[in-house]
């Protein structure tokens, strides 16, 4: 009888541990699922583009809604470097007082400025949710490193160097992307979700 009671207590203990583990795993997945569903947000920060013979930096303001993405890059004194509006069917770029349009935002920006911004294809990478199965994550299931393939077919290595909790989500505040001899560094100052 005592052996049976010990066995029952042991089973109850095991089932409690298993359900606790399941709940923690569900929480980890749920915050990412909920963050992925957030389709209206804004971010402000600084972008540095480092190439072998050229370095550029700009203040960055990015806003996303279900209908369009807006990216504004300004100099440190506040003058516009470029303003990009991207919808599902078209990209519109304002540069040096002129307006240019195209189908692919990344290729339009590269063609007119020489800046290769692979993240223009999918804004979810900025939230720490790159659209890839090739990634490494930490114990909280936050992506640390990932491989991103851009619209030109080139592979970029993404490193998420710093996360902070904001609005119940873990959001990246320091990101770097590297391809060949090009490196992009993004420092986020603020999120609005």
Tell me, what's the pLDDT at 151? 82
For residue 187, pLDDT beyond 80: yes
106 neighbors 117 (Cβ within 8 angstroms): yes
* Predicted pLDDT at 21: 32
Confidence of residue 1 (pLDDT cuts 50, 70, 90): low
Q: Is the pLDDT of residue 61 over 70?
A: yes
Stated length of the chain:
193
- pLDDT at residue number 86: 95
pLDDT digits 0-9 by tens, 123-146? 888 999 988 888 999 998 899 999
- Give the mean model confidence (pLDDT) for residues 153-165: 93
Can you tell me the mean pLDDT for 20-34? 53
Cβ count near 13 (within 10 Å):
10
User: Going from the N-terminus, what domains does the chain have, and what CATH number goes with each?
Assistant: 38-192 (2.50.20.10)
Enumerate long-range contacts of 157-163, CB under 8 Å, 24 or more apart.
158/125, 158/130, 160/128, 163/128
Mean pLDDT across 146-154: 86
Q: How confident is the model at residue 2 (pLDDT cuts 50, 70, 90)?
A: low
Task: Round to whole Å and give the CA distance between 146 and 36.
Answer: 17
pLDDT of residue 134: 84
Which 3 state secondary structure label does DSSP give 36? helix
**Has this prediction a pTM greater than 0.85?**
no
- The predicted-structure confidence for 76-87, as pLDDT tens digits, reads as follows 898 999 999 999
Is pLDDT above 80 for 3? no
């Amino acid at each position: 009888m005592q052996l049976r009671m010990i066995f029952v207590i042991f089973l109850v203990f095991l089932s409690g541990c298993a359900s606790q583990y399941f709940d923690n795993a569900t929480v980890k997945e749920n915050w990412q699922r909920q963050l992925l569903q957030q389709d209206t947000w804004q971010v402000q920060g600084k972008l540095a583009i480092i190439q072998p013979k050229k370095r550029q930096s700009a203040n960055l303001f990015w806003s996303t809604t279900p209908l369009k993405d807006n990216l504004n890059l300004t100099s440190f004194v506040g003058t516009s470097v470029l303003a990009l509006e991207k919808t599902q069917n078209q990209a519109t770029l304002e540069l040096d007082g002129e307006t240019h349009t195209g189908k692919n935002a990344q290729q339009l920006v590269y063609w007119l400025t020489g800046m290769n911004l692979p993240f223009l294809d999918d804004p979810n990478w900025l939230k720490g949710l790159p659209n890839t199965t090739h990634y490494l994550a930490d114990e909280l299931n936050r992506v640390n490193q990932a491989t991103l393939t851009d619209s030109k077919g080139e592979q970029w290595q993404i490193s998420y160097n710093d996360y902070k909790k904001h609005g119940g989500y873990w959001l990246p505040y320091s990101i770097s992307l590297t391809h060949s001899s090009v490196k992009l560094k993004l420092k986020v100052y603020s999120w609005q979700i």
